[in-house]
Amino acid sequence: MAKKKETTSLIDSLAEFKDLKNITKETMVSVLEDAFRNVLSKIFGTDSNCDVIINPERGDFEIWRTRRVVGNGEVINPPLEVELKEAQMLDPEAEIGEEVTDQVDFSAFGRRAVINLRQALASRILELQKDNFYANFSSRIGELITAEVYQVWKREALLIDDEGNELLMPKSEQIPGDFFRKGETVRAVIARVENENNNPKVILSRSSGEFLKRLLELNVPEIADGLITLKAVARIPGERAKIAVESYDDRIDPVGACVGMNGSRIRGIVRELRGENIDVTTYTSNTLLFIQRALSPAKVSAITLSEGDVKEAEVYVRPEEVPLAIGKNASNLKLASLLTGYRIEIFRDGETEGEEDIYLDEFDDEIDPWVIDLLKNMGCTTAKAVLKKGKEEVITSTDLEESTVDHLFAVLSAEFGDEESEGATEEEATNEEDLDPKEGESEGAQD
């Protein structure tokens, strides 16, 4: 009766593990066999001569042991050898030197063996589940998921996904305006998977740039379809973000598509990000122009790049544009640096107080727009910025014809010609005054 109970308990143990999720039938059979061999090795001293046959569908098994027949009283290695008289009880035709195989009644080893088997199985299955859990979520890093808040602590929140997996969101990965309640559904992105001491933990994030990317893909079909590409994303969570987008179809306005009609698409994302202000700009491979766009709404006068170990950009703006370029709490400057990959420093344009400059766009009636665009690509957005470059540098940088550049400089200089003319007139007058006395002296000397 005791043996029957132990056998039933053993079959129940197998049935308990056979339907585990994320474990294939082949893997389950291998795990069960390893567990049996581990216990058999403890019982017999070795499992090398044992065959374990598992039937996971029915939840049963068979164990067969093979031993070599030796003379009566000549057994030296009991796990591998059997006396002739015992062998003939299993097979009447058995002879010395042959091998006999018999079935092992595992339940005959008692309750202790069954408990050891359960423990070995549980340990191996737990290890396998951890490996599968780690591998599964490691391949899903960057994926947007929805999970339910299960518990909220001071430093982190515990969430449960649809499959019952436990996920963690530290306070540092939450948006400053986030406030979670138990049972609330939350969207986040899988940021990373930690595996310290073989104890995998999935870390979610709502403050990373990847979270903003996934939200844009969800709300802007053109991004999901590959018609618009997200080239760069920079965030100060809960405050402000900048994104650079590019379209491979000239018929699609990437900025307009992301914002949506009357801001319909971007509005939902802003709400999800707790009111975070999002600036959308068009990406360009022209570094100077990209930095200009990244610093919007500030208007840039000139840019000087330094390509060393650390990419740096010296940006010159008019004094009244400095607050816009830097932004509240330096947010505009920080985001522009993150977006472009350059360490940007803002300098006031070197004008003396009271001097005025003129943006190139105001000359569109005298200078072709495509010429103005070339000058902007050089990092010049104002008339004085172009004049400071000089004709030779403009010709070299833009490949414009010399006659075009002469006309350009003539138009730009004309705006400041009065001051220059006055200066030149005074200088000429001074020179004339200096020369007259000398001429008189010379004449006097001749006389």
pLDDT digits (tens, 9 = 90+) for 273-322: 999 999 999 999 999 999 999 999 998 888 888 887 889 999 988 888 89
- Up-side HSE of residue 206: CA atoms within 13 Å toward CB? 27
Q: Look at residue 150 in the predicted model and tell me its pLDDT.
A: 95
CATH class of the 284-355 domain in this structure = alpha beta
Spatial separation of the C-alpha atoms in residues 90 and 65, rounded to whole Å: 12
In CATH, what is the architecture of 208-233+245-274? 2-Layer Sandwich (3.30)
- Picking from 14-28, 80-94, 113-127, which range would have the lowest pLDDT averaged per residue? 14-28
Question: According to the model, what pLDDT value does residue 211 have?
Answer: 96
How confident is the model over 413-436, as pLDDT tens digits? 887 764 443 433 344 444 444 444
**What type of residue is 145?**
I
Section 90-97 average pLDDT: 87
Whether the CB-CB separation of 256 and 282 falls below 8 Å is answered with no
Q: Are 238 and 211 in contact (CB under 8 A)?
A: no
How far apart, in Å, are the Cα atoms of 41 and each of 36, 99, 105, 383, 404? 8, 20, 15, 88, 92
Determine the Cα–Cα distance for residues 228 and 285; give it in Å rounded to an integer. Answer: 15
Instruction: Say which DSSP state 351 is in.
Output: P
Cα distance between the two ends of the chain: 152
Whole-model pTM: value is 0.66
**DSSP secondary structure string, 30-44?**
HHHHHHHHHHHHHHH
User: Regarding the domain delimited by 2-135, which CATH topology (the fold level of the hierarchy) does it fall under?
Assistant: N Utilization Substance Protein A; Chain:P; domain 4 (3.30.1480)
Question: In this structure, what are the phi and psi dihedrals at residue 80, rounded to the nearest 5 degrees?
Answer: -110, -10
Considering the domain delimited by 140-205, tell me its CATH architecture: Beta Barrel (2.40)
Q: CA 223, 229, 231: angle at the middle one, nearest 5?
A: 135
Give 441's pLDDT tier (boundaries 50, 70, 90): very low
Give yes or no for a contact between 191 and 203, defined as CB atoms under 8 angstroms apart: yes
Domains 208-233+245-274 and 284-355 belong to one CATH topology: yes
DSSP string, 114-150: HHHHHHHHHHHHHHHHHHHHHHHHHTTTT-EEEEEEE
What are the boundaries of each domain within the chain? 2-135, 140-205, 208-233+245-274, 284-355, 360-418
